Structure 1
Amino acid sequence: SVLLSAENRRAAREVAARSMVLLKNERGVLPIDANVKSVAVVGALADSQQDMLGSWSGDGHKEDAVTLLAALREKLPRARVRYARGCDVQCAAAEGFDEAVRAARDSDVTIIVAGESADMSGEASSRATLDIPGRQVDLIKAIHATGKPYVVVLMNGRPLSINWVAENSPAVLEAWFPGTEAGHALTDVLFGDVNPGGKLPATFPRAVGQEPLYYNHVNTGRPPDPNNHYSSKYIDVPWTPLFPFGHGLSYTTFRLSNLRLSAGVINAAGSLDVSVDVENTGQRAGDEVVQLYTRDVAASRTRPVKELKGFQRVTLQPGERRTLHFTLAREQLGFYDAALR
């Protein structure tokens, strides 16, 4: 069909890979070596075609979707790819944990796919908690206890509170619901054929009690102060998010420098140029999303503590440096007053 043409599948694969966000990567777990001899795949979501599509999938058909398990077996024909479901997405029981642990112990690396099924987000699909459902975190803990390298791939349609995973797992990749070419896109990122460059479009909380939590909130009368008991914070968790809006890592590193403004003052009809140098300081080509934020510290109305006014995604080779330019004018700096003018 036209929808499933080779060109459209390539585009779906590229878009899915570029949308993924690397939340954490320690001890060199990612990217996985393409010459790996054995891989364990754990989690019901790793082989669920319906959940690859997610909610609001329109004319998508699950039989057209490529799962992570299928893509891994295609990519690694000479390696042993062992699948252990562990439990279903609701994960009410642990009967399958032992099989998953054995698979992890007998493999060079384990990929755990955890999170929510497609029907857990979207219209009329609210949950009272943002935790990973059921005992999925217990399954991750069991794999963690083997001491073998592993990666957690998250599938979900909204931010989740993943405190234990974020603090203890060596690598965490946010995949969302990647669509028809989900499996291929995931293997592209996991094995480094695509260097992840996505950034979070929403804030990840530490607990559901922090909600609503968003980056561009207005200040309170008592901003958080660790030295002042009577300020806006929590007594049981930090006031900061687990992962902020705009967060996202890469397999390479970048340096921003030489921030410049073309003018120190502009009038209501004027504009200024904001420029900054971005350099790839690592060993791989990669994408960086440079984000420009402003704060209006004195205005006729209370303004947010931070506002995103522009962003640019650039691909840089190792050692390459580029100067980016942003424009700030009335359209970026203005706001409606009390009379809606």
Structure 2
Amino acid sequence: MTHITPSAEKAKASSPSLLAGIPELLPGLALTAAIATAAVITRNLTGWAALSPLILSIILGMATRNLFTVSATLESGIAFSLRRLLRLGIVLLGLQVTVGQVLSLGGAGLAMVALTLAVTFVAIRAAGRALGVERELVDLIAAGTSVCGASAVIATNTVVRGRQEHVAYAIACVTLFGCLSMFTYPLLTAPLSLDARAYGLWSGATIHEVAQVVAASFQAGDAAGTFGTISKLARVAMLAPLVMVLAVAVRARQGGASKASAPMPWFVLGFIAMMLVNSAFDIPRDVNATLALANTFLLSMALAAMGLQTDIRKLKAEGWRPLALGAFGWLFISAFGFAMLRLFGF
């Protein structure tokens, strides 16, 4: 006679329920994957590397949400993409940078990048309060401008818990002003008397998105492109401590509120772990490239889900003040970054 222990009975009972939830996720996952695929294909067809699939995904998701009726059967898969796949994508983001790359900037370069990031974040928060912009939206614009664009916005939102309209507005700001930098920076190389190293550092320390940095910095040559990419990756690495500090600040501000209202972003530790793995092991270039594509696709699915939950009417209701804040952040980080460049002798 076979005896089944209580723990075995519990496992047996729970397994079917776990498996039963998977079919409910599939329709929504299929929709977010389809939108992410369309975004990637569109970027590839245009051949414009700076046209981020992340941005295209949220735009396509918003169009779908506001032009068509999104069935209730899709909601669970959309929510899964927005929460679980988002965190997985942020963890994999750590594989795009190594400790060696960050340290290769040297003490002065790292200090310049870190100071520009920190002071810009604080300045945007102060300006946001003066303009009367909602605190959550201010934090998202500040993170997207000072760190790494859309990726920083969605990572920060796991802590500040802004509305989907806040996230969409913040991403629109960093996209708009990052693109302006991408087009104007190459024109400023000669007037500002910047050599390849200085121009690359300035671009990487101040332009919003990674793709925008690559597009702008390589226009001044391979050396400028290399310095631009490395300094930008240093900013990406600083996303982890920023989100952790924000989490502590939010929890303190809420005066010991429940963990559900101010979660500690433990997935950021996964980001750090992946960065250390990428630093400790020589991952083949083709494997790393594949992982980078997978990471982009996961984050695109998450942003597609975000777009599918964004009401354009509510987005319009945010008004002009957040846009003015985004413009202030763009001008501030550009000017302050240049001042730091000269201060540190580049």
TM-score bracket, shorter-length normalisation = under 0.3
Which structure ranks higher in relative contact order (CA pairs < 8 Å, sequence separation ≥ 6)? 2
| Larger strand fraction of residues | 1
Larger radius of gyration: 1
